[in-house]
A and B are shown apart, each in its own frame.
Chain A
Amino acid sequence: MAERVPDRFAPGNARWGLTLVLWLTLLTSLASLHPLFQGSSWWFVPAVVSGLVFAASAAARAAHWPSAVASLAGLVVGLVASTVIVQGGTAIAGIIPTSDTVDRIRLLVQQAEDAIVSDQAPVVVGDALLAVIVVSVAAASVLLDVLARVSRIPGLTGVVFAVVILVPALIPNIDPAWVWVVATVLGYIAILLISTGRRPSKASFVTGLAGIVVAGIITALLPASLASPLTGIGTGTGISTGVNPVINLGKDLRRGDPVTVLTYSTSASTGQYLKLVDLVDFSGTRWSPSAVTLDSADSVDKLPAPSGVSAGTTKDTVDTDVSVTLLRSPYLPIPVPATKISGIGDAWKYVNESGVTIRSATQGSQGLDYSVTSKPVDPTTQQIIDALGEQSADMSKYLDVDGVPASITRLAKRETSGAANKFDAAVALQDYFRNGDFTYSEDTPVREGYDGSGLDMVETFLQRKSGYCVHFASAMAVMARTLGIPSRIAVGFLPGTQVGGSDDWTVTSNDLHTWPELYFQGLGWIPFEPTVGQGTTASYLTQTGTDTSPSASASATTEPSDTASAEATPTSTAASNAATATSTSSADAQSAGSGTTVGGVPLTVGAIAIVILLGMLPWWLRTSRRRRRLTQRPPDSALAAWREIVDTARDLGLPVDPAATPQQTSATLAKAVAPDDLALAAVDAVRRAVEEERFGFADQRAGTEAQDAAREAIRGLHRTSAPLARVRATVVPISLFVEARPRAAQGA
Chain B
Amino acid sequence: MTTTTQNAQNPSLSSGGEAPMELDEVQYLARTILEAVGTVIDGKAGAISTALTVMLAEGHLLIEDVPGVGKTQLARALAKAVDASVSRIQFTPDLLPSDITGVSIFDRQANAFEFKPGPVFANIVIGDEINRASPKTQSALLESLEERQVTVDGFSHPLPDPFLVVATQNPVEMEGTYSLPEAQRDRFMARISLGYPDAASELRMLSQRETASPLDALRPLVTLAQLRRMIAAVRRVYAARTVERYTVDIVQATRVHPDLRLGASPRATLQLMRAAKAWAALNGRRFVIPDDVDALSGPVLGHRLILAGRSGAGAVSAAYDIVEQVVRTTPVPLDEPAV
Contact = CB atoms under 8 A, between A and B. Distances in A.
B111 interface: no
Contacts of B339: 698
A410 B339 CA distance: 101
Nearest to B295: A663
Contacts of B253: 747
Interface string B113-140: 0000000000000000000000000000
Interface residues of A, number: 27
A742 B242 CA distance: 15
Contacts of B294: 661
A691 B289 contact: yes
Most buried by B among A635, A695, A697, A746: A695
A698 to B, nearest CB: 7
B291 A663 contact: yes
- Interface size class, chain B: 20 to 34
Interface string B308-334: 000000000000000000001111111
Nearest to B290: A661
Given A663-B291, A691-B289, A748 B338 contact: no
Interface string B190-223: 0000000000000000000000000000000000
Interface string B233-267: 00000111011000000000100011000000000
Contact of A696 (B287, B329, B333, B336): B287
Contacts, number: 78
Contacts of B239: 695
B211 to A, nearest CB: 39
A46 B200 CA distance: 78
Given A661-B294, A695-B243, A696-B238, A747 B330 contact: yes
B153 interface: no
Nearest to B243: A695
B334 A664 contact: no
A661 B238 contact: no
State the majority secondary structure of interface residues on A.
helix
A661 B329 contact: no
Nearest to A698: B338
A697 B236 CA distance: 12
A664 B338 CA distance: 20
B331 A695 contact: no
Contacts of A692: 287
B87 to A, nearest CB: 39
Contacts of B336: 1, 694
Nearest to B285: A691
B289 A661 contact: yes
Nearest to B287: A696
B107 interface: no
A747 B329 contact: yes
Give the secondary structure class of B's interface.
loop
A748 B335 CA distance: 21
A454 to B, nearest CB: 73
A664 B328 CA distance: 12
A639 B331 contact: no
A746 B334 CA distance: 16
A744 B287 CA distance: 23
Contacts of A663: 289, 291
B338 A746 contact: no
B255 to A, nearest CB: 13
B229 interface: no
A647 interface: no
A627 interface: no
Interface in A687-744: 690-698, 701, 742-744
Contacts of B332: 659-661, 742-743
A369 B291 CA distance: 86
B288 A695 contact: yes
Contacts of A236: none
A642 B334 CA distance: 10
Nearest to B256: A748
Given A747-B329, A748-B329, A694 B286 contact: no
Interface string A655-680: 00001111110000000000000000
A695 B329 contact: no
Contact of B286 (A661, A662, A690, A696): A696
Contacts of B330: 743-744, 747
Interface of A: 1-2, 635, 639, 642, 659-664, 690-698, 701, 742-744, 746-748
Interface of B: 238-240, 242-243, 253, 257-258, 285-291, 294, 328-339
Given A697-B286, A698-B339, A747-B330, 4 more contacts: A639-B334, A659-B328, A694-B289, A696-B286
30 contacts: A1-B335, A1-B336, A635-B337, A659-B331, A663-B289, A663-B291, A690-B334, A692-B287, A694-B289, A694-B333, A694-B336, A695-B239, A695-B240, A695-B242, A695-B243, A695-B289, A695-B338, A696-B238, A696-B240, A696-B286, A696-B338, A698-B339, A701-B338, A742-B335, A743-B328, A743-B331, A744-B330, A746-B328, A747-B331, A748-B257
